[in-house]
Amino acid sequence: MSYVLGIDKGTTTTKASIFDVADGRVVATARRPTTSFRPRPEWHEEDMEGTYDNVAAAIREALASSGIAAAEIVGVGVSGHMGGLWALDAHGNPAGPAIAWPDSRAAGLLDRWKADRRVDRLFQISGNAPIPGLPLVLLAWLKENDPEFYGRIDKVMLAKDYVNYRLTGVIATDESDLSFLPCDIRTRGPSRELFDLAGVSDAFDKLPLVLEIGEIVGRVSAQAAAETELLEGTPVVTGAGDAVAAAIGASARSAPVRR
């Protein structure tokens, strides 16, 4: 028998579900609440280590309750809420707390962008009407208001990318999460102009490798195997941002862009 493990890193709950490859049947599901912190009224943060601990615990419980051997899991895919900012330092450790997409600390900054018409150009490039919780907006806010945090950032990613990183040791994202950074909607790739508009040109090179949805990111590392009870070497694919994953599940797909 062959099974796949799906993980959804949600804003309020993280789920790990095991599916039978033959018929798509859900064999087991485990859940853990997402712990968030609000040090100020407008802020919405997570402890990145604690979030991954919850993911690992949900995986262990799903495996245990299913009675399936880890060797029968042939692949892992992760979805997660889009937006927010998950950043690593040069040593691969969290550069600070994760900032989740509902965070509104940058609302005033975004109002300035609306007043000086930067939002208009941002929309033309990305097709996104920005919210305060976009990674690009949060980077600009950190540069202005918390330069120490900003200065520690070596790589920028989103929630499901961090889970993939902890499972494989590989730093990467996919086109769906990149779209909400945001990116250039026409090329489906990073846009230097957007970073210039935001005043964070120096952060452009902090973007990770961008893969297509469903590409293999890497394989479960020895450390992650000990933490999750998955088999070392199990393939892990990019997965997708939750909204995009839902659209794919509803058979809404577009043709890939040839680069």
The domain ranges of the chain are 3-248
- State the pLDDT at residue 256: 55
Region for 90 from its dihedrals, namely left if φ exceeds 0, alpha if ψ lies in -120 to 50, beta otherwise? alpha
Summarised one tens digit per residue, pLDDT across range 95-145 is: 999 999 999 999 999 999 999 999 999 999 999 999 999 999 999 999 999
Distance (Å, rounded) from C-alpha 61 to C-alpha 53? 12
Over 90: is that where the pLDDT of 65 sits?
Answer: yes
- The rounded radius of gyration (Å) of the Cα atoms in the chain is 18
Region for 103 from its dihedrals, namely left if φ exceeds 0, alpha if ψ lies in -120 to 50, beta otherwise? beta
Residue 205 DSSP label: G
Summarised one tens digit per residue, pLDDT across range 228-238 is: 999 999 999 99
Summarised one tens digit per residue, pLDDT across range 238-251 is: 988 887 787 777 77
Domain 3-248: give its CATH code.
Answer: 3.30.420.40
Per-position DSSP letters for 167-188, written without gaps between them: HHS--EEEHHHHHTTT-BTTTT
Distance of CA 119 to the CA centre of its chain: 24
Summarised one tens digit per residue, pLDDT across range 198-233 is: 999 999 999 999 999 999 999 999 999 999 999 999
Q: What is the pTM of this model?
A: 0.93
